[in-house]
Amino acid sequence: MTENMHDPGVSNKMPSSSGSNRGEGNSKSKTSRRSFLKLSVAGAGVAAAGAAGITVARRMEGIPQDTLPIPINDDFKPIDQRNVLHIFAYSKALDQKHPERTKKFGNYNFYERFKTFYNGPYRKDPGYTQLERALAIGGFALLSKLHGPYGLSNPDGLLSSWKQEMLAKSQYEFPSKQEASQVIKSAAALYGAIKCGITRRDRRFDYDPLYDIGQERELSWERDFPFEPKTVIVIMTEMDYLAMSTAPSWITDATVGNAYVEALKIAAQTALFLRQLGYKAVATMNDMGMCGPYAVAAGLGEGGRNGQVITTGYGPRVRISKVYTDLDYVEYDKPKTLGVASFCLQCKRCAESCPSEAITFDGPSWEPTYSSDPDYIWHAAKGVYKFHNDTKKCFKFWIENDGACANCIASCPYNKPDFSHHRFVDIMNVVAPSQVHGLMKEFDILFGYGTVSDPAAVKKFWKKGRTKT
Amino acid sequence: MMELMWYVVGFLAGVSGYLVYMLSRKYNLGVIGLGSLIIGLFLILFTVAWSVGSVLEGVPRAASMGIVFFAMPGIVLLTFTAKRFLTPRYRKT
Ligand code: SF4
Ligand code: SF4
């Protein structure tokens, strides 16, 4: 390091040591004191930089919270599963019971329209040909075999069966709660989970009553479910970045389906693992309870404007499954804040990209801001302070598109492939004040990320071969 | 490819560190000169990492925008350091 770290204009005027009339010993001691001072300053600088680095790294993983970062009113009631749109749209009985829902949504019959889903003709536009349809059917294929014919929201499927098969007679005793959690997470990771979190069962997040479309009957937690769940293990799988960037093409369906199949497989394996350890466990997808709040409670991410859980490293490009178990000798994860809520306030890119205008441009609220008519907002979760989106409009677009859409995932600035240079931006996001977030969104657009309805993306997906990004 | 990129960036970072050391021994850079030299070199290295990463992930536009937004200020800072500080006037005796 240079002798003179101060302003060069000043340093140039300083007499050189050879011209000094001070004694040599005195000069040496002054020099060594100065060197010592410099070393101390440098050491303090390195220590400060190290501490700042650790703080930023911790903040990037999220700041643990003692309470859920989703404010919920005390009078919040668990959601009746009959009011879940995908349950309602599958059920003939519910359709007949609620003609007002059809009427209030411009005489749009969800049940009849849903029957047409995936049955439309191939098209000529890129992303909608026989090729993409085949890919999507392949992606979802096992799901209908393994979970059942009524979609992911219907409880008690094949791999998600409530039967406690292969339950060990003796219970394995974990040496500590911490070890129990580590063991479960290691098992889930081995089965293929990209993230796994463990949280207490929270009745507010469970559907109650549950509803089985196959039998068109209400199910009760107390009467029908085989045990009292104490803990929920939340599992995440990744959707392919390139496939997602073709949104809203049928290729996105393929990666959505594929990630769901993986999520179901991992949940089923983890549930069986627990049963083999003597603990009751059931794998579940979107049935039984809301994946989003459970994932947030398990510290895996934060809720975004687009209604998805935004996670570190993947953004909203994940699918979620869960395992309900009676094992409660575990160390629970804490929810974390990642700064998503403040980013979403400025960003709104998903809302701008949503072809059905289902996503709100408004801030978070306790109730939907798009309507207060109970016959229109029958599916909404009231009493939760969040972004309220009109999922009926989303559903309608899916039917028109004859495939899922996912523009709100593809366009989100948090959706990035796992390349290290994006971690720099993650750091920026954490350290930058919230006013800068709007600017960061504009830069994201300028840099060419999050484009949707792009025929070139379809071409790129097929041309890429299977080199995973 | 990313591994190779990090190897090259690591090598360049080492060379940059040595360059900073040598220049600061030879010239009275002061805080401003040293700061702009270090930030300028960092921006250039960051641009290499950013642009190669962007091309590999298939977003060439991000690579070119990276050059505009990161490399340009880096070059400006390095030019400023060279013109202002790396002159005989600031050379240490
Ligand atoms: S999936 Fe598409 S239609 Fe539905 S909310 Fe997202 S962007 Fe809107
Ligand atoms: S696109 Fe923007 S507003 Fe929407 S979820 Fe992502 S960060 Fe939030």
Per-residue pLDDT of chain A (469 residues; tens, 9 = 90+): 333 333 333 333 333 333 344 444 455 555 566 656 656 766 776 677 666 666 666 666 788 888 888 899 988 999 999 999 999 999 999 999 999 999 999 999 999 999 999 999 999 999 999 999 999 999 998 888 888 888 888 899 999 999 999 999 999 999 999 999 999 999 999 999 999 999 999 999 999 999 999 999 999 999 999 999 999 999 999 999 999 999 999 999 999 999 999 999 999 999 999 999 999 999 999 999 999 999 999 999 999 999 999 999 899 999 999 999 999 999 999 999 888 988 999 999 999 999 999 999 999 999 999 999 999 999 999 999 999 999 999 999 999 999 999 999 999 999 998 787 887 777 777 777 777 888 888 989 999 999 999 999 999 999 877 655 4
Q: For residue A167, how far is its CA from the centre of ligand 2 (angstroms)?
A: 43
Residue numbers of the domain that contains B72: 28-87
- The arithmetic mean of pLDDT across residues B31-46, rounded, is 95
pLDDT of residue A286: 94
Residue B9 lies in a domain: no
Q: Which residue of chain A is at minimal alpha-carbon distance from B93?
A: A16
Contact B59 A242 (CB under 8 A): no
Contact A464 B58 (CB under 8 A): yes
Tell me which of A38, A314, A411, A421 to substitute to probe the interface with B (most B C-beta atoms closer than 10 Å): A421
Tell me which of A245, A447, A463 to substitute to probe the interface with B (most B C-beta atoms closer than 10 Å): A447
Residue numbers of the domain that contains A291: 63-80+119-342+398-464
Chain B residues whose CB is inside 8 A of the A419 CB are 2, 53-54, 56-57
Query: Measuring CA to CA, which residue among A224, A311, A322 is closest to residue A282?
Result: A322
pLDDT of residue B57: 84
Residue A74 lies in a domain: yes
Number of domains in chain B: 1
With a 6 Å cutoff on the Cβ, whether A323 touches ligand 1 is: no
CA distances (Å), origin B85, targets A368, B37, B54: 61, 10, 34
Q: Which residue of chain A is at minimal alpha-carbon distance from B64?
A: A447
Residue A32 lies in a domain: no
DSSP class of A1: -
pLDDT tens-digit map of B71-89: 999 999 999 999 998 888 8
CA distances (Å), origin B84, targets A50, A432, B22: 31, 31, 17
Angle at A134 between CA A133 and CA A139, to 5 degrees: 95
Tell me the C-alpha distance between A85 and A113, whole Å.
Answer: 13
What values do phi and psi take at A172, rounded to 5?
-70, 135
Are the C-beta atoms of A332 and A320 separated by less than 8 Å? no
Closest-CA distance, B49 to chain A, in angstroms, reads: 7
Tell me the C-alpha distance between A409 and B59, whole Å.
Answer: 17
B66 pLDDT higher than 50: yes
Which ligand number lies closest to the CA of residue A362? 2
pLDDT of residue A35: 59
Whether the link from the prior residue into A209 is cis, omega within 30° of 0, is: yes
pLDDT of residue A249: 98
Contact A12 B57 (CB under 8 A): no
Q: Which atom of ligand 2 is nearest to the CA of A306?
A: 5
Tell me the C-alpha distance between A171 and A95, whole Å.
Answer: 45
Residue A128 lies in a domain: yes
- Which amino acid residue places its CA nearest to atom 5 of ligand 1? A394
The ligand 2 site (C-beta within 6 Å) comprises: A 304-306, 343-344, 347-350, 411-414
Are the C-beta atoms of A137 and A259 separated by less than 8 Å? no
Contact B92 A1 (CB under 8 A): no
DSSP string, A399-450: HHHTS---HHHHT-TT---S-HHHHHHHHHHHHS-GGGHHHHHHHHHHTT-S
Residue B47 lies in a domain: yes
Closest-CA distance, B26 to chain A, in angstroms, reads: 8
Contact B50 A421 (CB under 8 A): yes
B61 pLDDT higher than 80: yes
Given ligand 1 and candidates A85, A249, A256, A405, which is best to mutate, with the most ligand atoms within 8 Å of its CB? A405
Residue B35 lies in a domain: yes
Residue B58 lies in a domain: yes
CB atoms within 10 A of CB A410: 30
Residue B64 lies in a domain: yes
**Residue A60 neighbours by CB under 8 Å, 6+ apart:** A312, A338, A423, A426, A427, A430
Residue A94 lies in a domain: no
Residue B76 lies in a domain: yes
Chain A residues whose CB is inside 8 A of the B43 CB are none
Residue A114 lies in a domain: no
Which ligand number lies closest to the CA of residue A363? 2
Residue B34 lies in a domain: yes
B33, B62, B89 member nearest A447 (Cβ)? B62
Q: What is the ipTM of this complex?
A: 0.79
Closest-CA distance, A154 to chain B, in angstroms, reads: 38
Chain B residues contacting A, CB < 8 Å?
2, 6, 21, 24-25, 27-34, 46, 49-50, 53-54, 56-62, 65-66, 69, 85, 89-90, 92-93
Angle at A430 between CA A424 and CA A432, to 5 degrees: 95
Whether the link from the prior residue into A15 is cis, omega within 30° of 0, is: no
pTM of structure: 0.86
**Residue A1 neighbours by CB under 8 Å, 6+ apart:** A38, A42, B21, B24
Tell me the C-alpha distance between A467 and B59, whole Å.
Answer: 15
